[in-house]
Amino acid sequence: MVTRVPPEPFRIKMVEPVRVPDSDQRERALEAGHFNMFGLRGADVYIDLLTDSGTGAMSKQQWAAMMMGDEAYAGADSFFNLKKAVKEVLGFDHTIPTHQGRAAENVVFSALVKPGDVIPFNMPFDTTRGHVFNSGAVPAECVIDEAFDRANPHPFKGNIDIQKLDKALADNKGRVPFVMITITNNSGGGQPVSLKNLREASAVAKKHGVPLFLDAARMAENAWFIKNREEECRNMSVAEILKATMDTADAVTVSCKKDPLVNMGGLVACRTEEMYFKIVPKVILYEGFATYGGLAGRDLEALAVGLREMVDEQHLTHRIAQVRYLGELLEEGGVPCIQPIGGHAVFIDAGAFLPHIPQGLYPADVLSVEIYREGAVRGIGLGALAFEDVDEKTGERTFPKLELYRLAINRRTYTNSHMEYVAETIVNVFKRRESIRYGLELVYEPPVKGMKHFLAHLKPRDL
Ligand code: F0G
């Protein structure tokens, strides 16, 4: 039995027409885009599940708030409205706006990280990992082992392993500027982190005198999972759980293009003035003055409203059920998905879907190509192409444990009929999976570590 998705808690007021390109158009688009989903044009895609970032629909309250945008370079009212919303929803006294999440990472990493440092994570997402390398540091992945077991139904597969974390901190004394936990864990299947785990991680970090940062792009979805899966939080509201989540951390970086429901925006928020003054010069250097951080006043206003809207439980219940609905339709068709289904996306185990394609020939990206070819649906491979490590001297490749294909669901954008179309498309590919007899090889890769999957040119190679 698949989930019954509750009726949408919104009416659709404006539509964006989309069309299904015919198969000739799809073939031309694949060639022109070098078989990389980032190379396709939006107009060549029917259902675009490349990302849930900046692709959601704003509410009428957000659009109305935009009209109140105060465009002062320094000290705009809109900044103070945002600061008030951050204090109210997240509890932090200090807010630094940035133009998006990776910009928040950039100001934090450039202020606090130096070459040779080690940053313990549950798992970093791709751009975050890129920032670690760009600062001359390395990530130490400490997620629990269950995260790598596709069918394991552990309710909090995003949890950090407290022993691994303690060891990483002890082994790298003096070289850890902060611990960072991604909520929900995007690279590991959109899996939540429990409040208990965050509290334990916070205590361990404190014991070692190291601050805890949260990469909190999907913090409201994480809080919803806590409410539904963590016994002691059952009677708390999502808003209360979110506050309690934030209480475990010294600071957050947020891509506001996800849960906070804006099309562009990010922020850093922190507890102490000392940390604020360490970070804020970098925002001026890279983003804009401290009270706008690369955003227009109207963007700050829409974000202030979005932060309050994101904890609406009807919205979250509908959204997470819609994602699960897609996952269940796929599972029903035999498609191997990461269990439990994540908050913002369904992650297909591309390694299990196409077991005859060696990981070095990027099976997750072959799956991207085939699903696009079948139904003009765009998802994204999150496997070896995104996360492999290649030894600079020997060329030896180390592959990630997970070879995933992600369908990220835009917030308040697609209907359940769209989900059914996507599932049907993918089940059709699944039925003909054994006839897919090629892999992909690199023709071009950019010279910056961690950026390969965004810019790679690929070409098919027969098995
Ligand atoms: N952290 C996480 C967990 C993310 O998922 C992302 C972006 C970022 C940071 C960076 O934020 O895009 O605003 O600069 N993830 C997107 C995705 C792009 O498709 O999952 P950004």
**For 330-375, how does the pLDDT look when each residue is reduced to its tens digit (9 = 90+)?**
999 999 999 999 999 999 999 999 999 999 999 999 999 999 999 9
Q: How many residues would you count in the chain?
A: 463
Fold match between domain 23-52+312-462 and domain 60-309: no
Tell me which of 255, 268, 344 to substitute to probe ligand 1's pocket, judged by most ligand atoms within 8 Å of the beta carbon. 255
Per-residue pLDDT tens digits for 172-200: 999 999 999 999 999 999 999 999 999 99
Q: Is 70:298 a contact under the CB 8 Å cutoff?
A: no
**Backbone torsions φ then ψ of 406, nearest 5 degrees:** -110, 135
pLDDT at 71: 93
Whether 37 has a pLDDT exceeding 80, the answer reads: yes
Closest atom of ligand 1 to 345 CA is 20
Handedness of CA 234, 237, 239, 244 (dihedral sign): negative
Handedness of CA 62, 67, 73, 76 (dihedral sign): negative
183 lines ligand 1 (CB under 6 A): no
257 lines ligand 1 (CB under 6 A): yes
Closest atom of ligand 1 to 380 CA is 19
Least confident piece of the model among 103-112, 141-150, 231-240, 446-455: 446-455
Q: Is 404:323 a contact under the CB 8 Å cutoff?
A: no
pLDDT at 450: 83
349 lines ligand 1 (CB under 6 A): no
Which positions are catalytic?
73, 125-126, 215, 217, 258, 453
Alpha carbons 183 and 214: distance in angstroms, whole number: 7
Q: How many angstroms is it from 353 CA to the middle of ligand 1? A: 26
21 lines ligand 1 (CB under 6 A): no
Level-2 CATH architecture, domain 23-52+312-462: Alpha-Beta Complex (3.90)
Q: Name the residue with the closest Cα to ligand 1, atom 4.
A: 125
Tell me which of 53, 121, 132 to substitute to probe ligand 1's pocket, judged by most ligand atoms within 8 Å of the beta carbon. 53
- For 140, the 3-state DSSP assignment is strand
**Per-residue confidence band for 3, with pLDDT thresholds at 50, 70 and 90:** confident
Q: How many angstroms is it from 437 CA to the middle of ligand 1? A: 32
For the chain, the 3-state helix, strand and coil shares in percent, each to the nearest 5, are 45, 15, 40
Q: Name the residue with the closest Cα to ligand 1, atom 18.
A: 53
Q: How many angstroms is it from 50 CA to the middle of ligand 1? A: 12
127 lines ligand 1 (CB under 6 A): yes
Closest atom of ligand 1 to 51 CA is 19
Domain ranges of the chain: 23-52+312-462, 60-309
Whether 1 has a pLDDT exceeding 80, the answer reads: no
pLDDT at 161: 98
Whether 396 has a pLDDT exceeding 80, the answer reads: yes
Q: Tally Cβ neighbours within 10 Å of residue 207.
A: 11
- Find the helix packing angle between 273-286 and 101-112, rounded to 10°: 120
Angle at Cα 12 formed by Cα 7 and Cα 17, nearest 5°?
Answer: 120
101 lines ligand 1 (CB under 6 A): yes
On whether the 60-309 domain is CATH 3.60.9.10, my answer is no
pLDDT at 300: 98
Alpha carbons 390 and 30: distance in angstroms, whole number: 26
